[in-house]
Chains A and B, each alone.
Chain A
Amino acid sequence: MSSRDIILKSIKDYAPSKSSELPNINISHASYENINEKFSTSLSSVGGIAVFMENIEEIKEYIAEHYADSKVIVSNCENLLPIVTKDANATKDPHALHDVDLAIIEGEFGVAENGAVWIMEPKNRHRALYFIAQKLIIIIPKNEIVPTMHEAYEKLSFGTQNFGLFISGPSKTADIEQSLIIGAHGAIETCVIFI
């Protein structure tokens, strides 16, 4: 008998004759009067920043002003091609992204309770981009904020896509004496822009 069959058999042997029900998930929770504000507060509490803008020109100005020292900039947003300095999808090898200073990516929606953003970009070839870039900007359509993870997971499904993630703020660690340090292995800055 294979290990698979041995394991499954011993688990089946111990299964009770009658099983309990799988519960429905129907958790009532507080609603947020100003959901944008709640998202912003949640994100800033985990070291990120949320900004709300009207158009793509504003984003370009914001990047020029706040990310002047970022030399290698990548993005799959067509509107931002003029400021892109490197095509992240051009190479087969994600290691080529090691020098990326700023990645501007697209998120689907934000979650107000924890400042997380769901990202599942079909246009992005390498998932490494989300973690290897020194700084991250995530652009989300305005009004795409859900209150909690319950509404978030209702929106998700995995079809042919093989990777998706929530990012909540920059990478961080508190492994040395519990002091919180922003910037462990992933981005040292994360900014979410709603447009």
Chain B
Amino acid sequence: MIVKMQKSRLTHLLYCIGLCFFWTCTGNINIDKNLNEIPHIFPDYIGVTVPVNIAPLHFKLADSCDYTDAYALFRTGTEQVKVKASGKQFAIGESAWKKLIKSAQEGAIDVKIVTKTDKKWLAYKPFQFFVSADPVDPYIAYRLIEPGYETWNDMGIYQRCVETFKQTEIATNKTMDYNCVNCHSFCMQSPDTMLLHIRKDFGGTLVMRGNKIEKLNTKTPETMSPLVYPSWHPSGNFVAFSVNSTKQMFHTSDPNRIEVFDYKSDVVIYDVEKHEIFSTPELFSKSAFETFPTFSPDGKTLYFCSADSVTIPNDYEKVRYNLCSITFDPASRRFGEEVDTLFNASAIGKSISFPRVSPDGNFLMFTLFNYGNFSIWHREADLYLLSLADKKVAALNILNSNETESYHSWSSNSRWVVFSSRRIDGLYTRPFIAHIDKNGVASKPFVLPQDDVDYYTKLLKSYNIPEFVKGKIKVTPYQVSETARNEKGIDVQFKN
């Protein structure tokens, strides 16, 4: 027994010696100088919190950093990996990363960068990737499209496995005569229950449940437009939608570039089984713009944004949406008679969009900005968190930047959010993932890792509506295309 303990201590001692050696003198690297600064890396992964099942974080030093050779040294309590910069990128292999991140569960990975400049090795101050034991949903679905404007060419809805770098297509417009595809939405992050819209030729809403795909024609005489922004009822039997009359105009001088506004809008509920839509005067009012509906996880409350209707476009800067809610009984399809205003944003001169409730029902995240409803074109747009227990609202400062933070969705375990941010270049939205603990405290977010560090620089499309999904979506672009092309579609009826 004593021999065994001694052996164990000896092993530990040798390991520590080895680690020290590794850290100060790795292979034939003899550090000439230790710098008292943390390096600037892209993407900014310094101090981020990542899930244990995330793909490797590849990064590079800032362009201003000049060197002839460089290494990144990764270390946890039990693992260490040395990665040589290749093409100026530190790209740790997937298997090495998996071992490393597993060994760091609920701890940190220390990262030290050493560079060779003028034949001397310089070591930067180490930084950390913090690892959370909370796993993240393995897939994110999003649309890739150029930011805004009116024309387009290729666009599609894709899914990306966050555990690897693999991206696959769900629906692309090249199979459908380059129509617009948009507004993908999932029922409680389920890959088996989703919908998306196709506009123009072959237009309609495709609802996928299991292996069944249904095409709907959703424009009715009673509603101003086909169905637009969706949110599934947790039962999968209903979907709340907005109907909107939307236009966009272009700023001459404002850095926000584009203004998108609703001339009018309402909220309706679609009954999946009966192919009917219905509403209530509280959601279907001419004196107010109602939009961005979302159900609570218990399905008994419908949250939405509401603003007093004004003359558009003249008074576009006066439109301010509040966060409201109304009760809903799915059994009788009846709504409550009163609308609660949960957050009166207009009272503080602000407007709200994209309310999203965490699946555990504890928090509601929303976007707050100066006016209007299309927060993606508002650089001041930031994310806020409302505690549904005490109705307290707090800015998620650690998630926000000087650029737009807008669309967001929760993971199925309520511990992660993915949100769109324009912080990298001010125009093209990228998906950032952040940990939110059970008390609503957020950690520093990280951009969805890519194999090629320059991927985001070269990609001239935005990530639109990033949504967590619990598994791989099985529907294929072919199925979507065939249904869209060949099905006439079911005409949805408005029945109140």
Q: Do A and B come from one complex?
A: no
